[in-house]
Amino acid sequence: MKQFFSVKDINSISAIVNEALALKRNPFSHEDLGKHKTLGLVFLNPSLRTRMSTQKAALQLGMQVMMMNLNQDGWALETQDGVVMNGTNVEHIREAAAVMGVYCDVLGLRSFPNLQNQEQDYSETLFNKFQQYNKKPLISLESATLHPLQSLADIITIVEHLKPGVKPKVVLSWAPHIKPLPQAVANSFSQWMCKAQEEGLIDFIITHPEGYQLKDTFIAGTTVTNNQTEALVDADFVYVKNWSSYHEYGQILPVEENWMLDQQKWQLTNQAKVMHCLPVRRDLELASELLDGKDSLVIEQAENRIWAAQVVLKQILETLNTAV
């Protein structure tokens, strides 16, 4: 593996999940693979899980880790080309990314969308520039449009809870929120579940209110309904997540019904496992009774972020070591 931006960077979901689960059983099986290699984790936005799980994964592979909170601790970054830098931005991404590439063997970058300009966000300009100038393998720690380490952890978690001989029904269910959130987690989850569906692992369905349709390219091959009740019937896994409108970009649209998953709605399911990427706003996005209940997988998902990161780093290190 040379980079990790999306599901397109892997060959087979089953194969990478099995490799991740082997690492989970034996975390230090490749403890020398990353010896004398440095991972740089660069954050333009807050993080708990991504920061700690990716660091732990790297340490278990013998890597050294450097963190940079670029927005807080770095120089104000200019990302546009061809501008005279006579304003508040101090350092151009060309130099900043190149310098971090000199210090590190592998880089991870988190950069959320601004939710103002759909074209700019969905062209992943910042990620592309960062990769172009640093010249080292780059891992997405969540970009403007996708969160692949989260989705890999999610499918690992689902596979761990598969029942023999049963192809589960997995539902992505939109949830309310007070702020406009990126579509990245939903896009990414959908992209990975569509591939898992192609591989025959699951059946996948998305439910959201009118106006919240995701970009076509991320939902190809799946069923989408505005009828949450219909979607929840017989569900084996319900993945709860808010996102702002893609088509009315970054907007929170009026929704009359209550879309929060609670115990009453959960009764429609096949005793579904309840999932969320975290952080979650209790009793706004998801009822506490479900979060705290026996069918909640949210902490297991967060734990599996370690093995998602570790398998990705392992594959990148193997590619790097082969190239030497």
Which residues bind to ligand CP, rule: CB under 6 A? 47-50, 142, 150, 277-278
Rounded CA separation 131/226 (Å)? 38
Nearer to ligand CP, 105 or 142 (CB): 142
Question: What tokens were used for 284?
Answer: 């706004």
Nearer to ligand CP, 232 or 277 (CB): 277
Nearer to ligand CP, 172 or 232 (CB): 172
Nearer to ligand CP, 34 or 148 (CB): 148
* Other CB atoms within 10 A of residue 318 CB: 13
- Buried-state track 16-46, b at ≥16 Cβ within 10 A, e below 16: bbebbeebbeebeebeebbeebbbbbbbbee
Minimum distance, C-beta of residue 303 to ligand CP, in the bound complex (Å): 12
165: which residues sit within 8 A by CB, 6+ positions away?
none
| Residue the block writes with tokens 């440095």 | 38
Minimum distance, C-beta of residue 60 to ligand CP, in the bound complex (Å): 18
Residue closest to 277 by CA, chosen among 176, 155, 178, 129: 155
Minimum distance, C-beta of residue 278 to ligand CP, in the bound complex (Å): 5
Nearer to ligand CP, 126 or 308 (CB): 308
Q: Are strands 237-241 and 169-174 parallel, antiparallel or unpaired?
A: parallel
Rounded CA separation 144/158 (Å)? 25
Planar angle of CA 97, 101, 104, nearest 5 degrees: 135
| Residue the block writes with tokens 């001989």 | 165
Minimum distance, C-beta of residue 43 to ligand CP, in the bound complex (Å): 9
Identify whether the C-beta of residue 42 lies closer than 8 Å to the C-beta of residue 100: yes
- Distance between first and last Cα of the chain: 15
Minimum distance, C-beta of residue 186 to ligand CP, in the bound complex (Å): 13
Nearer to ligand CP, 241 or 273 (CB): 241
User: Would you say how long the chain is, in residues?
Assistant: 324
Minimum distance, C-beta of residue 149 to ligand CP, in the bound complex (Å): 7
Q: Is the dihedral of CA 156, 158, 162, 165 positive or negative?
A: negative
Nearer to ligand CP, 207 or 301 (CB): 301
Minimum distance, C-beta of residue 263 to ligand CP, in the bound complex (Å): 24
